Amino acid sequence: MGAEHVKTVVINGDTDGIDNPVRAALLGPHSHLALSHGNALRYPADVSPFAALPDSPSEDDWRDAAELFGPGRVLGLATVGSSLTLPAGWEVLLDLPGVQLVAEDVIGKAAEEAVRLGPEDVPEMLALVGRTKPGPFLSRTIEMGAYFGIRHDGDLVAMAGQRLHPPGWTEISAVCTREDHRGRGLATTLVLALVAEIKSRGETPFLHAAASNTTAIRLYESLGFRVRRQVTFIGVRVPGDPATSEPRE
The structure's pTM equals 0.89
Distance CA(184)–CA(114), nearest Å, equals 14
State the angle between helix axes of 186-200 and 214-223 in degrees (0 to 180), rounded to the nearest 10: 50
pLDDT tens digits, one per residue of 139-192: 999 999 999 999 999 999 999 999 999 999 999 999 999 999 999 999 999 999
3-state secondary structure of 147: strand
Burial grade of 216 (CB within 10 A; 0-12, 13-18, 19 or more): middle
Backbone angles phi, psi at 65, to 5 degrees: -65, -40
The CA–CA distances, whole Å, from 140 to 36, 75, 78, 148, 162 equal 18, 19, 22, 15, 13
Give the largest Cα separation in the chain, rounded: 55
pLDDT tens digits, one per residue of 75-102: 877 677 656 788 999 998 888 899 999 9
Task: Quote the pLDDT of residue 7.
Answer: 43
Distance CA(160)–CA(177), nearest Å, equals 9
Domains, in order of start, for the chain: 3-97+230-244 (no CATH), 115-229 (3.40.630.30)
The CA–CA distances, whole Å, from 55 to 24, 34, 138, 236 equal 11, 18, 27, 18
Task: Quote the pLDDT of residue 83.
Answer: 64
